[in-house]
Amino acid sequence: MIEREILWRLAPHIIWPLRFVLPHHKGLRPAWLLRLGLFIYDHLGGRKLLPATRTLSLKRDPAGVPLKEAGGIAFEYSDCWVEDARLVVLNAMDARERGAIIETRHRLVSADRADGLWSLIIEDTRSGARKTISARVLVNAAGPWVGDVLSGKVRSNTTAKVRLVQGSHIVVRKVFEHDRSYIFQNQDGRIIFAIPYERDFTLIGTTDRDYQGDPAKVVATDEEIAYLCAAASEYFAKPVQTSDVVWTYSGVRPLYDDGASKAQEATRDYVLTLDAPGDKTPLLSIFGGKITTYRRLAEAALEKLAPFFAPGIAEKKGWTAEARLPGGDFPQEDYEGLVSQLARDHAGISRPLIARLVRAYGTRATDILKDAKSEQDLGTLFGSNLTQREVQYLIANEWAQTTEDVLWRRSKLGLKMSKSEVTVLDAYMQSEHLKIQRGVELGERTE
């Protein structure tokens, strides 16, 4: 619980409290035992700001309205929501601002130890151009490809293995009106959730099944979609049909293979393996992990690598618990206050647009709004409050190159934009990148 509050403080624009409702029904553990477990969850996890667990009467509380069985009790407890794609981008931006070089759309071709260093060849997947990089240490944080890097790129003999587990989600039109979420236990013992999503939708997930094949090609299967619809329909008064699904997405979890018999039983904890023959030229590989522990995982990784750096670096204590991510430099409970401030500063711009910008960019929304007095000052409106100024910001600051980058990897505006709007945006982005490319070529010729 304490780690959730730390992350909420570091990035309050993309992380915020979420209340989960767990309806009690026959087949679950006794109500008193569930309540005891949640009491421990509240008090042993270091909770200070997130609200405590409470017991609800589903007959009296709005949370009971959309449910089939609304006459019993439920337990409501705290968790947090994170815009996971934006969390990745913000960490990359933060690293760049601290001196890192971020090479998007590049792949590792080979990695070899030579003269006490790693010699890495990387390739630009767009142009095919290759270059060599030297490094003192190498961290294999390739996610579901961690095993491929070990066996195919660095040819390591480590015995650690990765277990690929597929998790799929469906998005449907809004199933309920309130802002709380549900967590349900399915008849097979698995847990599913239903979460308010992008204002007009409900997110339902997730599945757990072993995955074979290329992780880049994972998709939600018809079987998984039907499973999630059926599981949600066991609880909601209005059945969730496959025809209600407006979007699906699926990912592959790179879990450490601990020999668990079922995919859902495999450990979600992270495992770090260090390969450093003769205490030289280290390779650190990361298996497993989850968003809640990503910050502590990073600090643990550096602790393992500290002996291979200069003494001053090795002795530096963990600092990330106090390091706000880009745009997160405002009080964690004052999102609405920041929205109101910017709405006053830009009175000619609609509050919903400003609220969305603050939710995505925090205080860096000012880099988009600048001196704009009206929405016309923000340039072309592509649809769903996406403006030319915002797209330019994403290209210049967040490595966005395609419409998919903007509509799905930096936001989820793709849920709301029409095909014709996407076509216009695509043409604009292609023209912008052509200008950038011509500028780069001109600069190279004049040097």
CA distance 421 to 279: 56
One-letter amino acid at 370 equals: K
Please, which pLDDT band fits residue 312 given cuts at 50, 70 and 90? low
Mean predicted lDDT score pLDDT of the chain: 92
What residues does 107 pair with on adjacent strands? 123
**Helical H segments across 184-290, by residue range:** 222-233
What is the rounded average pLDDT of the residues 416-439?
92
What pLDDT was estimated at residue 444?
53
Domains, the chain: 1-82 (3.30.9.10), 86-161+267-322 (3.50.50.60), 335-446 (1.10.8.870)
Residues whose CB falls within 8 Å of the CB of residue 343, separated by 6 or more in sequence, listed in order: 349, 351, 354
What pLDDT was estimated at residue 442?
56
What is the rounded average pLDDT of the residues 274-298?
91
What pLDDT was estimated at residue 446?
53
Please, which pLDDT band fits residue 316 given cuts at 50, 70 and 90? low
For 186-222, give one letter per residue: b (16+ CB within 10 A) or e. Answer: eeeeeebbbbbbbeebbbbbbbbbebeeebeebebee
What is the rounded average pLDDT of the residues 209-215?
94
Which has the minimum average pLDDT: 82-96, 252-266, 330-344, 362-376? 252-266
CA distance 204 to 248: 10
Residue 304, Cβ density class (10 Å: 0-12 exposed, 13-18 middle, ≥19 buried):
middle
**444/276: higher pLDDT:** 276
What pLDDT was estimated at residue 314?
55
pTM: 0.92
Percent of the chain topping pLDDT 70? 96
**Helical H segments across 118-168, by residue range:** 146-148
Please, which pLDDT band fits residue 206 given cuts at 50, 70 and 90? very high
What pLDDT was estimated at residue 447?
55
What is Dmax (Cα atoms) for the chain? 76
What pLDDT was estimated at residue 311?
74
Percent of the chain topping pLDDT 90? 76
